[in-house]
Amino acid sequence: WDETHFGKMGSYYINRTFFFDVHPPLGKMLIGLAGYLSGYDGTFPFQKPGDRYEQHNYMGMRGVRLYRLVSSCLALLCFSVQMLELSRSLPAALLTAFILIFDTGCITLSQYILLDPILMFFLMGAVLSMVKCNSCADRPFSASWWFWLCLTGVNLAGAMGVKFVGLFVVLLVGLNTIYDLWDLLGDLSLSLVMFGKHLLARVLCLILLPLALYTAMFAVHFTVLNKSGPGDGFFSSAFQSQLIGNNLHNVSIPE
């Protein structure tokens, strides 16, 4: 059923038809982009599970360009987290990667038009970026430290932009940041000015940057979906007047 739902959302993006959905837009925009790049024209109705795609080019949306690439990266991310930062054990890292590669649930999720592989990619990316940033704690404000801190913020925005359940990795990174700042505050050799710089860097990269990216996702979302669709009724008349094909299109709406 979920493939029917998210496949239809991808078709809406290809056809630039406005719709309303409970999930943030990033994952569905990526699904639509994968379909567009693979030649899918957005005409399949996605009415019920089990409908045959027949001549419609659905392979790009289902996995050739997006899901299998993302799912392949998951094993590499897990290996990197274990091998480079956590256990630092090659057998443990290989075991972690092989368990994920041969996990039936992960293989199944990677074969259909779903948001979960994209979400897991950003979740694991956020964890990897966080632990890599922690490993640079002995050289703060270096190029690598800034890179991993910024990449953590980017992955947080990605996780939240796919599904709201990404809030849990935001909580994980937030707790790690609080612990890190508390440890810095207790360092008597560190001046308050330097502590303020650490605090400002984290506010910039882990709060303001994700918020800016998250807002930009919705800006793209509303820019692409400029035609009237099934989601019009959830929004105000003033908003509906901006949608091509709506009965209120270009009608002057009092404030």
Q: Give the residue among 69, 66, 93, 68 at the shortest CA–CA distance from 82.
A: 93
Contacts of 95 (CB under 8 A, 6+ apart): none
Two tokens, residue 13? 């993006």
pLDDT given at position 21:
86
Q: How many Å apart are CA 215 and CA 230, to the nearest integer?
A: 23
pLDDT given at position 180:
95
Q: How many Å apart are CA 229 and CA 168, to the nearest integer?
A: 32
pLDDT given at position 229:
85
Low-confidence ranges of the chain (pLDDT < 50): 64-65
CA geometry: angle at 156 spanning 203 and 18, to 5°? Answer: 115
pLDDT given at position 164:
92
CB 22 within 8 A of CB 162: no
Q: How many Å apart are CA 169 and CA 66, to the nearest integer?
A: 22
Contacts of 250 (CB under 8 A, 6+ apart): 241
Q: Give the residue among 208, 220, 123 at the shortest CA–CA distance from 163.
A: 123
pLDDT in tens, 111-124: 777 788 888 889 98
- Residue type present at position 44: F
pLDDT in tens, 186-197: 998 999 999 999
Two tokens, residue 176? 């790690």
Two tokens, residue 244? 């091509």
State pTM to two decimals: 0.85
CB 60 within 8 A of CB 38: yes
Contacts of 43 (CB under 8 A, 6+ apart): 11, 56
CA geometry: angle at 184 spanning 181 and 190, to 5°? Answer: 140
Q: Is 243 helix (H, G, I), strand (E, B) or coil?
A: coil
pLDDT given at position 120:
86
Q: Is 168 helix (H, G, I), strand (E, B) or coil?
A: helix
